[in-house]
Amino acid sequence: MKYHIYLIATLVLTLTSFAAAQNQNSPAVDQALKATGKPIDFLFNYLNMAGTTKASEFRPLTQRERTHIYLKTMANPLGYIKAGFSAGIDQWKDKPQEWEQGASGYGKRFANIVGQYSIQRTVTFGLSSAFHEDNRYFNSGKTGLLPRTEYALVSGVLARHDDGSRHVSISQVGGVAAGAFLSRYWQPPSQRSAGDGAVSFGITMASNMGFSVLKEFLPDLGRIISKKHKTP
């Protein structure tokens, strides 16, 4: 799990240094932004962020916008890069042992991760459409470490409704549960129990909360990095 976090954190720090530099007007920065605009967009989409929009600026999604975000997420190359990295870690750890080494075993591990992710995203999309939930992360707009961290942690399990109120996200919890438990059907015996599904569900929900903290402070990290690399 920690290797997965290192990979995503590296991507985040690299790309947000360019995102935060948007207020700089040097030709070098402008050229860099043109080259990295799409990767930054992929990053926000992969992390399910509403860009740098604050909670106070929330407006409900139309169904067309919701569908566009879902389709974009399913085609986002960062999701497949992360799946490839995770499959490599599982291969190195020989997890699960029933899946052989070599290209065949790696393919099974990669397909398992992509399959679970696809189920999660698809079920979340369907339920969020039905219940009018918006699971995107909006920056709190708060000040102070503790208020912002508290907001971020609870945001990992909450969604906004069309009126802007926040409630436990039926779509996110349902999507994560579907991915965790339905994927047991193609898992080998050592990973097929309900307990294994529950562990997968718990890890994913906990990581969602943890990454919400990262999303909250992402603009700050970007500003710090951009200042260090600011052109004189």
Scored b (16 or more CB within 10 A) or e, 12-22 reads: beebbbbbbbe
Among 175, 86, 172, residue whose Cα is nearest residue 137: 172
The per-residue pLDDT for 10 is: 45
Residue 8 — pLDDT band, cuts 50, 70, 90?
Answer: very low
Domain encompassing residue 70: 2-228
Q: Where is average pLDDT lowest: 32-46, 142-156, 192-206?
A: 32-46
- Strands 158-160, 166-168: pairing is antiparallel
pLDDT, tens digit, for every residue of 88-126?
999 999 999 999 999 999 999 999 999 999 999 999 999
Q: What is the pTM of this model?
A: 0.80
pLDDT, tens digit, for every residue of 79-97?
999 999 999 999 999 999 9
The per-residue pLDDT for 4 is: 47
Question: What does pLDDT average to over the chain?
Answer: 85
pLDDT, tens digit, for every residue of 149-197?
999 999 999 999 999 999 999 999 999 999 999 999 999 999 999 999 9
- Vertex 214, ends 136 and 90: CA angle to 5°? 95
- Find the Cα–Cα–Cα–Cα dihedral 191, 195, 198, 200, rounded to 10°: -30
Q: Tell me how many domains the chain contains.
A: 1
The per-residue pLDDT for 24 is: 41
**DSSP bridge pairs for 168:** 158
- Vertex 57, ends 52 and 59: CA angle to 5°? 110
Residue 229 — pLDDT band, cuts 50, 70, 90?
Answer: low
